[in-house]
């Protein structure tokens, strides 16, 4: 089959090094650019060339594309901006008008990871499940489809959101979705790039009745997957999970599409599948035929997932010597902490080694690649609390890794964030408008005693791991202040670029990690940089904007990665840039003395409800991290009616704050307010004192914490 002009250009990207045509630059997803005008000898003189302020001050995770001098960036709330790549001037913009009240239908901020390009059109997914095709020159809509079929969206617990980057190959646009924290059955759809007509759909977990869905996945699910699930676990009502919310790759060498499949729904393996079976295709890579979506092979990295160990992380292909023979392989660093090398054509396990510290397995079986589980890590089966490393955010999350064929190293934006897993008390009980994990929501936050909390904070780490895929060992590492830093790009100038959680943008020497350049971008960076040429000059660009699940959920503790307040922008650098950012705003969320009285009889219940319904956006234990309002200092907590207007009746739905009177009664919402008042009182003085430090982060965040 013909690849068409765009496919050829993506495959032969080095002949078009001025452009960035696909999410990972080429179908290999190596994020390597041969451009070398900016290199180790001159990067110290890199200057800001332009900046473009965004109208969405939430997490920005997008990889922009560059096609012939135009930069296409998707932003939070699924908006698209087309900018002049040399000047940052806005050429056109498109807002699909995602309704604000659905922000809480997704787990992890209303982010968008990027557009796709094919034959004069740009494509992107929207948080409410649509796929939009625009004319790349004018920004006019060509077609739009709803990617969520009616049979998948039935019922309150089916909560689908689309925030992943689309991939385009062979004239078709492919997209998955998220939702496994709520209740979802994952699938990927492929649409004709010209018309938007559905070509095929592949579900990643079985039909609960083992009936055909009349989808490309029917045979594989009915013959291979169904028997790896219990017939009547909670998955039957909760969808089973397996969402493909990030990586989804076409490989022109093997002529296969690879799906990177996510975690179980609910997480709790005992409730989900009665503690039985490996639960295919959770935590797997699944290979399909591009034309039909027909199953070819799968490799399951985390059988019986119960830790949110998604395998959705970026799938990269490269040619690697294995026992003296060059092989076309997939390299993969999923959440579970192991670095896998698989044969791309067959899925055969070649090797695997942990790229970060882990405490849940004693390595991989050398033949099958299956993890050798530590029995105490299987928390739904032991019934005991489990302090897991990696935790639910993984040793590596969506931040894209890069590979340099010059150094032979894979650069992983890695991290360590522990998580406490414990069974939901009294069996599985789903809540509408909330995460439904089968976990004790009183435990999902940080440990509540000072000692355990201090230990938890010591365990927080962020770093670049420069990994040698042939030797399966780290060549070197660069340590950051804390977790949740941006993705990476590697260049022919022997450079690595990365933005950090503390708002700094850096260039490192790709051979040894030496820090060669630093720029203060004023807001945490979680997106991956790109590099391109416009008018013959090399630029490096990145989306700036702190957010995503780490600051949302971990709240105050996430400030220890280096506290910034969200000011979202696209910024671009060149060697002769002359732009200057405006002076930085004050850090927001100054503590305001709260009313002194609250009802201690209801604050425990308020804590439980807060952790169940509010913490995933407003921060563990009601401490914010600089993106969404820190409720402790909000005017809305000062009066029962004011709080009910927002939390109950939805006064701020247009801004992303859903109404909760459908899931909680007024008394429950009032209990939450009483709990926030308690937290505001407990932490007020600590936060006032912290504003006297230069970091404005409390020296000891455990002060002012009363045991629950
Ligand atoms: O299971 C899912 O369906 C799902 C979806 C998403 C998402 O759509 O962003 C995330 C996750 N899981 C997840 O586990 C995770 O750590 C995560 C981080 C982020 C982010 O953008 O900050 N999204 C997601
Ligand atoms: Ca997940």
Which atom number of ligand 1 is nearest to the Cα of residue 308? 14
Give the per-residue pLDDT at 341: 98
Give the per-residue pLDDT at 446: 82
Cis peptide before 641 (omega within 30 of 0): no
What's the full length of the chain, in residues?
708
- Closest CA to ligand 1's atom 13: 393
What separation in Å is there between the alpha carbon of 261 and the centre of ligand 2? 10
- In the sheet where 488-491 sits, what is the strand order? 32-33, 488-491, 495-499, 504-509, 515-520
Give the per-residue pLDDT at 452: 84
Give the per-residue pLDDT at 136: 98
Tokens encoding 369: 């690649």
Check: CB of residue 298 under 8 Å from CB of residue 205.
no
Q: Which residues of the chain fall short of a pLDDT of 50? A: 1, 707-708
How far, CA to CA in Å, does 352 sit from each of 281, 330, 422, 470, 472? Answer: 19, 12, 28, 10, 7
* Helix or strand (DSSP H, E) at 618: helix 615-618
How far, CA to CA in Å, does 561 sit from each of 399, 458, 550, 564? Answer: 15, 12, 10, 9
What separation in Å is there between the alpha carbon of 367 and the centre of ligand 1? 31
Give the per-residue pLDDT at 155: 65
Q: Would residue 231 be called left, alpha or beta, if left means φ above 0 and alpha means ψ between -120 and 50 degrees?
A: alpha
Give the per-residue pLDDT at 704: 61
What separation in Å is there between the alpha carbon of 423 and the centre of ligand 1? 21
- Catalytic residue numbers? 308
Give the per-residue pLDDT at 702: 67
User: Which residue in 627, 628, 461 sits closest to 545, CA to CA?
Assistant: 627
**Ligand that lies nearest to the alpha carbon of residue 129, given by its number in the listed order:** 1
Give the per-residue pLDDT at 590: 85
User: Which residue in 362, 359, 394, 365 sits closest to 379, CA to CA?
Assistant: 359
- Cα separation, 443 vs 460, whole angstroms: 18
Q: Which residues pair with 126 in a beta bridge?
A: none
Residue 599: partners with Cβ closer than 8 Å, 6 or more residues away: 674
Give the per-residue pLDDT at 1: 42
Neighbour-count burial of 427, counting CB atoms closer than 10 A to its CB (0-12 exposed, 13-18 middle, 19+ buried) = exposed
Probe residue for ligand 1, chosen from 98, 165, 178 as the CB with the greatest number of ligand atoms within 8 Å: 178
């Amino acid at each position: 089959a013909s690849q068409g002009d765009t496919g050829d250009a993506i495959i032969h990207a080095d002949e078009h090094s001025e452009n960035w045509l696909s999410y990972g630059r080429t179908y290999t997803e190596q994020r390597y650019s041969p451009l070398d005008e900016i290199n180790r000898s001159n990067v110290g003189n890199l200057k800001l060339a332009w900046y473009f302020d965004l109208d969405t001050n939430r997490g920005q995770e997008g990889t922009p594309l560059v096609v012939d001098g135009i930069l296409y960036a998707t932003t939070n709330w699924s908006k698209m901006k087309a900018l002049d790549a040399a000047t940052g001037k806005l050429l056109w913009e498109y807002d699909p008008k995602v309704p604000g009240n659905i922000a809480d239908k997704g787990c992890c901020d209303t982010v968008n990871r990027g557009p796709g390009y094919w034959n004069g059109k740009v494509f992107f997914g929207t948080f409410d499940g649509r796929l939009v095709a625009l004319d790349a020159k004018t920004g006019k809509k060509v077609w739009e489809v709803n990617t969520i079929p009616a049979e998948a969206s039935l019922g309150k617990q089916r909560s689908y959101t689309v925030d992943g980057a689309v991939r385009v190959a062979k004239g078709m646009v492919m997209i998955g979705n998220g939702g496994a924290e709520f209740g979802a059955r994952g699938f990927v759809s492929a649409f004709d790039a010209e018309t938007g007509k559905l070509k095929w759909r592949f579900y990643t977990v079985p039909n609960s009745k083992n009936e055909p869905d009349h989808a490309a996945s029917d045979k594989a699910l009915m013959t291979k997957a169904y028997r790896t699930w219990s017939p009547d676990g909670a998955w039957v009502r909760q969808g089973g999970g397996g969402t493909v919310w990030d990586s989804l790759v076409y490989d022109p060498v093997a002529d296969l599409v690879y799906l990177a499949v996510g975690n179980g729904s609910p997480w709790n393996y005992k409730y989900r599948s009665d503690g039985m079976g490996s639960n295919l295709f959770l935590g797997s890579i699944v290979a399909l035929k591009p034309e039909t979506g027909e199953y070819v092979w799968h490799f399951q990295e985390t059988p019986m997932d119960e830790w949110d160990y998604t395998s959705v992380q970026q799938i990269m292909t490269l040619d690697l010597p294995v026992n003296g023979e060059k092989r076309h392989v997939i390299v993969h660093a999923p959440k579970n902490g192991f670095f896998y090398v698989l044969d791309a054509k067959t899925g055969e396990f070649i090797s695997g080694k942990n790229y970060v510290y882990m405490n849940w397995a004693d390595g991989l079986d050398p033949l099958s690649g299956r993890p050798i589980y530590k029995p105490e890590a299987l928390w739904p089966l032991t019934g005991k609390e489990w302090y897991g490393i990696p935790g639910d955010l993984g040793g590596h999350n969506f931040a894209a890794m890069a590979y340099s064929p010059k150094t032979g190293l894979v650069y992983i934006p890695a991290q360590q964030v522990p998580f406490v897993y414990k069974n939901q008390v009294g069996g599985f009980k789903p809540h509408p408008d909330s995460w439904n994990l089968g976990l004790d929501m009183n435990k999902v936050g940080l440990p509540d005693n000072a000692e355990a909390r201090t230990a938890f904070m010591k365990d927080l780490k962020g770093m670049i791991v420069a990994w040698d895929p042939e030797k399966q060992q780290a060549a070197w590492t660069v340590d950051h202040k804390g977790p949740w830093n941006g993705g990476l790009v590697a260049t022919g100038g022997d450079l690595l670029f990365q933005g950090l959680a503390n708002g700094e943008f850096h260039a490192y020497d790709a051979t040894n990690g030496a820090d060669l350049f630093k720029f203060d971008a004023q807001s945490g960076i979680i997106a991956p940089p790109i590099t391109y040429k416009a008018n013959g000059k090399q630029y490096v660009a990145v989306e700036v904007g702190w957010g995503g699940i780490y600051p949302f959920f971990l709240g105050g503790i996430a400030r220890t990665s280096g506290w910034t307040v969200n000011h979202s922008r696209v910024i671009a650098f060149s060697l002769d840039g002359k732009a200057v950012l405006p002076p930085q705003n004050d850090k927001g969320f100054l503590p305001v003395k709260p009313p002194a009285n609250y009802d201690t009889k209801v604050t425990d219940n308020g804590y439980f409800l807060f952790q169940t319904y509010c913490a995933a956006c407003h921060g563990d234990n009601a401490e914010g991290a600089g993106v969404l309002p820190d409720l402790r200092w909000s005017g809305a907590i000062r009066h029962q009616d004011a709080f009910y207007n927002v939390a109950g009746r939805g006064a701020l739905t247009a801004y992303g704050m859903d109404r909760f009177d459908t899931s909680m009664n007024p008394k429950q919402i009032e209990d939450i307010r009483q709990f926030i008042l308690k937290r505001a009182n407990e932490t007020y003085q600590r936060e006032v004192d912290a504003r006297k430090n230069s970091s404005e982060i409390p020296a000891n965040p455990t002060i002012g914490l009363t045991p629950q």
